[in-house]
Amino acid sequence: MPTAQDARVAVYLDFDNIVMSWYDRVHGRNSYSHDRQRITADPSEPEIAQRLAAATIDVGAIIDYAASFGTLVLTRAYADWSSPVNAQYRSQLVARAVDLVQLFPAAAYAKNGADIRLAVDTVEDMFRLPDLTHVVIVGGDSDYVPLAQRCKRLGRFVVGVGVAGSTAKSLAAACDQFDSYDSLPGITVVEAPESKSESDAAPAGRTRTKKKEKEEKEQSDASGELLERALKLEHVRTDDEWVHLSAVKNLLKRMDPSFSEKALGHRSFSDFVKAHPEVAELDESTNIVTVRLQPSRS
């Protein structure tokens, strides 16, 4: 893969997808569909304006993340820019040299308008600009799976970005690397204020906490199983008991492009491994950090 110094990157944002998905991430599943009529009618209505503000997209975080892979050759954002919800982002996008591709309103244009236009432009750009090395697709729709696969077949490194909980697993698997918008540097989930009484808020809060704890445990169990599988595969490949930590991470990322130790709450991959002592043992006694599967798991 080219280094960041000579890599040339094209970025394609399904902006409607990200806006709606992040709104749902902040306010709860299907919140955007529930509020759509009120948003369309008057986005300045105090309650709606507050909810939109709480779910504001950080455009700079997305562009900066894409720029970490190399020089940005082109960046396009697809949406109905006449919509007040999208229009508020126009100045930010233009300031970052993003081309705004106008789509007709969904009712007149069809459900998959952004998907089709984005895919056609991406494939055309790959043939028009053969020096492109990376394609960054911002949007979690499973309709982008064939596009990601085609980009890989044409020799490009495909990076996906989508909102956690609203991204198809098949899309993450189709990319070379996949990161959630939630995990980008500087992004935090701001919970919108609930319009409930104090008596209702406490039980709801406890329910959310239990649900979050359950989700975190399931994520930890799944990531532990993934680590174990990667260690076994690397051991078979090298026939060494102790294998390089970096090699295990690279293999794990190939197995699951959406894997991120930071999204799991760890500062580094070594911290992630240390969090699974029942699976792996780390050796940091030398400059080259190595890891092995616990003998009891062999």
Indicate whether 210 and 136 sit together in one domain.
Answer: no
Q: What is the tens place of the pLDDT at every residue in 146-160?
A: 999 999 999 999 999
CB 19 within 8 A of CB 57: yes
For position 263, which CATH number holds? 3.30.420.610
Indicate whether 129 and 210 sit together in one domain.
Answer: no
Range of 100's domain? 8-183
pLDDT grade, residue 112 (50/70/90)? low
Q: Are strands 134-138 and 280-283 parallel, antiparallel or unpaired?
A: unpaired
Indicate whether 172 and 215 sit together in one domain.
Answer: no
Indicate whether 63 and 14 sit together in one domain.
Answer: yes
> Is residue 254 in some structural domain?
yes
Indicate whether 204 and 177 sit together in one domain.
Answer: no
Indicate whether 72 and 168 sit together in one domain.
Answer: yes
Q: Looking up tokens 């697809």, which residue turns up?
A: 78
Dihedrals φ, ψ of 41, to 5°? -70, -45
Task: Report DSSP state, residue 287.
Answer: S
CA distance linking residue 221 with residue 216, whole number of Å? 9
CA distance linking residue 294 with residue 298, whole number of Å? 7
CB 154 within 8 A of CB 55: no
Count of Cβ atoms closer than 10 Å to residue 85 Cβ: 21
**H or E stretch including 84?**
helix 84-87
Tell me the residue type at 221: D
Range in 18-22, 67-71, 129-133, 218-222 the model is least confident about: 218-222
Indicate whether 35 and 158 sit together in one domain.
Answer: yes
> Is residue 252 in some structural domain?
yes
> Is residue 164 in some structural domain?
yes
Q: What is the tens place of the pLDDT at every residue in 59-86?
A: 999 999 999 999 999 999 999 998 889 9
Structure confidence at residue 58 (pLDDT): 94
Domain boundary among 123, 148, 183: 183
Indicate whether 175 and 204 sit together in one domain.
Answer: no
> Is residue 30 in some structural domain?
yes
Indicate whether 213 and 78 sit together in one domain.
Answer: no
Structure confidence at residue 111 (pLDDT): 52
User: Over 80: is that where the pLDDT of 123 sits?
Assistant: yes
User: Over 60: is that where the pLDDT of 298 sits?
Assistant: yes
Structure confidence at residue 110 (pLDDT): 45
DSSP 45-83: SHHHHHHHHHT---HHHHHHHHHTTSEEEEEEEEE-TTS
Residue 17, both tokens: 């997808």
Q: What is the tens place of the pLDDT at every residue in 159-200?
A: 999 998 889 999 999 999 999 999 898 887 665 555 444 445
CA distance linking residue 47 with residue 191, whole number of Å? 14
For position 152, which CATH number holds? 3.40.50.1010
Domain boundary among 135, 154, 183: 183
> Is residue 240 in some structural domain?
yes
User: Over 80: is that where the pLDDT of 260 sits?
Assistant: yes
How large is the C-alpha radius of gyration of the chain? 21
Query: For the chain, what is the domain count?
Result: 2
Give the pTM: 0.78
Domain boundary among 153, 183, 213: 183
CB 137 within 8 A of CB 148: yes
Instruction: Please enumerate, as own/partner, the contacts of 171-174 that have beta carbons within 8 Å and a separation of 24 or more.
Output: 171/140, 171/141, 171/142, 171/144, 171/145, 172/256, 172/257, 172/258, 173/256, 173/257, 173/258, 174/144, 174/145, 174/148, 174/149
Structure confidence at residue 209 (pLDDT): 62
> Is residue 62 in some structural domain?
yes
CB 231 within 8 A of CB 279: yes
Indicate whether 29 and 67 sit together in one domain.
Answer: yes
Indicate whether 205 and 164 sit together in one domain.
Answer: no
Indicate whether 176 and 219 sit together in one domain.
Answer: no
User: Over 50: is that where the pLDDT of 201 sits?
Assistant: no
> Is residue 190 in some structural domain?
no
> Is residue 107 in some structural domain?
yes
